[in-house]
Structure 1
Amino acid sequence: MPSGKVSTLLLLSALVLTWSGHLPILAAPAPAPAPAPEPLAISANITGSLGNLCSSQPGVLSLVQGSAANQDRAGLAIAVPASLTNAVAVQQIAQIAWEYIYSFPIPFVAKTLALGSANGTAVNTFYLRSNRLATSNDTAVVAPNHDTIYSQGWLDLSQGPVILTLPSFDSNRYWIVPLQDAYTNTYSVLGSDYNTQAGQYLIVGRNVSVNATFRGFTPDRIIHAPTDINLIIARVQVMSNADTAAASSLNQAITLAAYSTSANATSSTMSKATTIARAVNGSGYGTTSTLLQYVTNLSQQPAAWFNLSATFVGIDPPGMGASSVDTTLAALSTTAGNATGLAATAFGVGSQVALRCITTSDVGLDTKTGWNITNGAGSYGKDYLLRAQIARSGLGALPASQSIYATTTRDSQNRTLDASTGNNYTVTFPLPLPARAFWSLTLYNAPTMALVNNTINRYSIGDNTSGLSLSGAGNNTLQVFISASQPARQSPQYANWLPAPINAPFELILRLYEAESDVFSGQYAPPAVVRATDQASTITSK
């Protein structure tokens, strides 16, 4: 199976694309239409697959009912104790699992907010800025891209509006500033693909009327956030090493500042960010140093998990208002806190079912060439499973209209990608790739998803990489060579070398910035990764 991992810098907005054709005008009857091209990106659907069942509350109930009857469905592989196989207990376990899936992003957001905002004291400013592309020395971010530099900050609009200032960018440079609400939905995007103009924009909170006016800002320059807590990550393309300074200067010119009025702020003297940070630290696990440690520890205590989630929803509800799912979180928090014996076991089984769904089901489309294409995140609606899966991989990913992510950990024979045992690989790309802006192929150490230290400081290959060796008619083919050992200099393999780790398996992420419609419709799949000792794969991309 392809990898279900997704980059930390992932957030994708859903697109609905339709096929449109034109019939020729002919004097004679038109010939029979050619058969539609066979989708390359979508694997055969398996009825009742784990991902399908985990995606809805009735599906989760069906999974638990199967386990309770000793009829494992879709490979859930979680046993329900005999004492909890009655209908009432099964319903409770399924409810716990579904609420766990629903609330899964909340501890990630809460802890990341507490860490990044210094417990709520450093909001409405960029607390992280990069002035160069990521390297193997940068391990704080999981699966960083090697294409853009960034500025990252948390907004707390409960204290008033915030001014976002954008510089004037050169016309050939890709840049993007997406805004993400407290529940990881991207609700507004500014950038080169949207013809966004330089100047100031005002971001206002959830309680601000759509008819509200602010001096100095026309309605088209006012952005209404659905929640008061928001994540903002600006990205600026670096087109070459020589371009780093220019890109960094533009990145530094993207700024945040408080609007000079307290109008529309809440009456509370304590910001929502501070309140959430206190809830994180008061959970009993807030003092652990890393996000992973915090979420891991919290997940083992259902009462603490649901208490934090209910508190978070109470402080900053989803933009559409609290739902029945939200109100159930508070009830589960109380129930879990008082649970003993079988009741406590039910919470344990429910959380196991949820984690199995989140960690085992693939995100996006499986391809026939061994890749998984993530194309549905960013605006989730009621797809809480996908929202949980993306949160597990990281916050702040780009919307699908801006970047499509294809990942793989398998070669053309479905073996783990691992060059540490002397295996070499090739990936042969027909050019151009379906990206209107640009594309990149980045290699990561699979266990850590960190960039790989290497002798030539190359972490990715893309259409901005200089000195590549192309082949085919009109130089329309690029064969990337992957190995742990350095190829001979002056060879085509060296020119196209993407270094792999010497002591671990690896994972590939193909990023298509402003992908073409073929990617969304399933008519494109990245080419298979072929081990050098194998015959050429018969599987090709369009």
Structure 2
Amino acid sequence: MQSLTALTPETARNIAREAYTFGFPMVENYKTLYKQAIDTRHPDFKAPINQIGRAAGVVTPDDTQFITPNTDTPYCFLWADLRTEPIVVTMPAIEPNRYYTGQIVDLYTHNIDYLGTRVYGNDGGNFLLVDPGWNGEPPENIRAVIRCETELLYILFRIQLFDLSDLEKVQTIQAGIQAQPLSQFVGKPAPPAAPAIAWLPLVDDMTETPVLFRYLNFLLQFAPTHPSETELISRFAQLGIGAGKPFDIATFPPEIQQAIADGISDFWQQDFPGIMQRLNAGEVGSGDAFGTREFLQNNYLYRFLAAKLGIYGNSRDEAIYITYFVDADNNKLDTSQSGYTLRFEGDQLPPANAFWSITLYDGKTQLLVRNPLQRYVLNSPMLETFKFGEDGSLTLYIQKDSPGGDRESNWLPAPDGPFYLILRIYLPKPEVLNGTWKQPPLQQI
């Protein structure tokens, strides 16, 4: 392995660029972990490690725990530490016409598996989550054993809300989602606890500067090197990046410090604009960026894109996310200049086996936009309230001021400035996945 003293600025720059792309999603993931499960004083705290946290209502502009949230499915949250013993997650049985899911995400932000409607149906059951080294026998009454390649994982539970009058029913389902250690599930004494974790507090610039590598080294302790990444991790070691290693850029010579900063700058000036151009052109979509390791095939740029624009997005079979960052003429969206329309022909509404929704986000904060109607989404459960054209078409209005009259039912309020839209299709039909259904463009008025 090359020593740090023999490291050239060119090599350091290239490694920093590559390691930044690799590590950014993990550190973004850690931000959520720390806020939701470690820092009890943080307003986004949900529950300690290995306990279920529940959001009693739908997401509003006051919720800032992660960017680009949906408002269709109230959430439950579980951060699990599998080092001591496996965790048993119980999903309650629910009515067959309601969509629910538990998205299991590892430290890399791979979607490793799902609980719920698509994979296991709505009958519920007990599921055993185990770490990479577990080789025990599952007890009776376990529907499936789910192995994670990292020792810490996240489960994001979503339960479909039909309308606000349905919230109490959703809360009852939330209460039925449970998590417990395997020893408690089988009624035996708990094994000795794993060593306590010295969690790193968050700092403001942790994903924008070389500070990111300190957090990456911390997280790699809980993520055994995958065989496909042995060479990659060995290359990172030339820059002092590796499981449990200290990382302090001040320990490098000035020319190496500059090279590391330049490598991160290279990513933002070259790689990111390139992938965004492909996204806006429709060459890359959410169906390419979210999924298992096997699906992504170690495409770290796609994994970065997913974490940057909408961390914890679903895999393509679970949901498709169609982004609107530009209009039909490829201009950035900005309602300080004009309004927009989105028109679906009568037979071209988004094809979903569950439901679809369109949510608007502020272009600066990536959060929901406060508005007098407290309306943040238009979705298929609202179809009966929409005004349709005589030809059966549906035109939605995206603008800062009301379109007036009966058009207001089709209005998605926007800020006085930049914004973007996400069209979510839950349990998409084959015509979405194979590309025969095409989303309509956003037209400037």
TM-score band (shorter)? 0.7 to 0.9
Q: Distance in 1 between matches of 2:380 and 2:127?
A: 33
Q: Structure 1 residue 216 and structure 2 residue 140: aligned? A: yes
Q: Distance in 2 between matches of 1:440 and 1:434?
A: 11
Q: Distance in 2 between matches of 1:454 and 1:88?
A: 53
- Compared CA separation, residues 450 and 207, structure 1 to 2 (3 A): same
Give the secondary-structure state (helix, strand or coil) at the position aligned to 1:427: strand
Q: Where does residue 313 of structure 1 map in the other structure?
A: 220
Comparing both chains, which one has the higher relative contact order based on Cα–Cα distances under 8 Å and sequence gaps of 6 or more? 1
Q: Where does residue 374 of structure 1 map in the other structure?
A: 286
Please show how residues 171-182 of structure 1 align to structure 2 within 5 Å.
Answer: 171-182=96-107
Structure 2 residue identity aligned to 1:96: A
- Compared CA separation, residues 357 and 208, structure 1 to 2 (3 A): farther
Residues 333-386 of structure 1 show CA distances to partners (whole Å, capped at 9, x for unaligned) of 279553213222221211211233553233696466x79732112222210111
Unmatched segments (≥5 aa) in structure 1: 1-86, 533-542
- Compared CA separation, residues 408 and 395, structure 1 to 2 (3 A): closer
The structure number with the bigger radius of gyration is: 1
Q: CA deviation at 1:517?
A: 2.8
Q: Where does residue 58 of structure 2 map in the other structure?
A: 133
Residues 13-61 of structure 1 show CA distances to partners (whole Å, capped at 9, x for unaligned) of xxxxxxxxxxxxxxxxxxxxxxxxxxxxxxxxxxxxxxxxxxxxxxxxx
- Compared CA separation, residues 316 and 91, structure 1 to 2 (3 A): closer
Number of positions where the alignment pairs a residue of Structure 1 with one of Structure 2: 417
Q: Distance in 1 between matches of 2:158 and 2:361?
A: 21
- Compared CA separation, residues 357 and 374, structure 1 to 2 (3 A): farther
2:26 to 106, 112, 133: 106
Q: Where does residue 145 of structure 1 map in the other structure?
A: 70
Please show how residues 36-435 of structure 1 align to structure 2 within 5 Å.
Answer: 89-118=9-38, 122-127=48-53, 129-196=54-121, 197-209=123-135, 212-218=136-142, 220-260=143-183, 269-271=194-196, 274-275=197-198, 277=199, 280-281=200-201, 286=202, 288=203, 293-296=204-207, 299-300=208-209, 302=210, 304-318=211-225, 320=227, 323-333=230-240, 336=249, 338-357=251-270, 359-362=272-275, 366=279, 373-376=285-288, 377-379=290-292, 380-421=296-337, 423-430=338-345, 431-435=348-352
- Compared CA separation, residues 257 and 294, structure 1 to 2 (3 A): farther
- Would you say the 8 A contact 1:154–1:229 is kept in 2? yes
Give the secondary-structure state (helix, strand or coil) at the position aligned to 1:158: coil
Q: Distance in 1 between matches of 2:308 and 2:424?
A: 19
- Would you say the 8 A contact 1:176–1:192 is kept in 2? yes
- Would you say the 8 A contact 1:179–1:189 is kept in 2? yes
TM-score after normalising by structure 1: 0.70
- Compared CA separation, residues 307 and 444, structure 1 to 2 (3 A): closer
Q: CA deviation at 1:524?
A: 3.2
- Compared CA separation, residues 110 and 530, structure 1 to 2 (3 A): closer
1:442 to 359, 364, 370: 359
- Would you say the 8 A contact 1:371–1:526 is kept in 2? no
Give the secondary-structure state (helix, strand or coil) at the position aligned to 1:412: coil
Q: CA deviation at 1:256?
A: 1.1
Q: Where does residue 540 of structure 1 map in the other structure?
A: none
Q: Where does residue 44 of structure 2 map in the other structure?
A: none
Q: Where does residue 68 of structure 1 map in the other structure?
A: none
- Would you say the 8 A contact 1:93–1:346 is kept in 2? yes
Q: Structure 1 residue 494 and structure 2 residue 408: aligned? A: yes
Residues 197-244 of structure 1 show CA distances to partners (whole Å, capped at 9, x for unaligned) of 3222221222112xx3133344x4322222210011000000112212
Q: Distance in 1 between matches of 2:153 and 2:190?
A: 15
Structure 1 residue identity aligned to 2:154: L
Q: Where does residue 374 of structure 2 map in the other structure?
A: 457
- Would you say the 8 A contact 2:321–2:424 is kept in 1? yes
Q: CA deviation at 1:115?
A: 2.7
Unmatched segments (≥5 aa) in structure 2: 1-6, 41-46, 241-246
Give the secondary-structure state (helix, strand or coil) at the position aligned to 1:104: helix
Q: CA deviation at 1:153?
A: 1.8
- Compared CA separation, residues 295 and 94, structure 1 to 2 (3 A): same
Q: Distance in 1 between matches of 2:14 and 2:228?
A: 24
Q: Where does residue 387 of structure 2 map in the other structure?
A: 469
- Would you say the 8 A contact 1:130–1:149 is kept in 2? yes
- Would you say the 8 A contact 1:108–1:391 is kept in 2? yes
Structure 1 residue identity aligned to 2:10: V
Q: Distance in 2 between matches of 1:231 and 1:101?
A: 21
Residues 424-468 of structure 1 show CA distances to partners (whole Å, capped at 9, x for unaligned) of 221101233222211111111211122222232221112111410
Q: Distance in 1 between matches of 2:385 and 2:359?
A: 17
Structure 2 residue identity aligned to 1:498: L
CA RMSD of aligned residues (A): 2.9
Q: CA deviation at 1:507?
A: 0.8
TM-score after normalising by structure 2: 0.85
Q: CA deviation at 1:264?
A: 12
- Would you say the 8 A contact 2:67–2:311 is kept in 1? no
- Compared CA separation, residues 258 and 508, structure 1 to 2 (3 A): same
- Would you say the 8 A contact 2:324–2:422 is kept in 1? yes
Q: Where does residue 243 of structure 2 map in the other structure?
A: none
- Would you say the 8 A contact 2:66–2:311 is kept in 1? no
Q: Distance in 2 between matches of 1:199 and 1:439?
A: 27
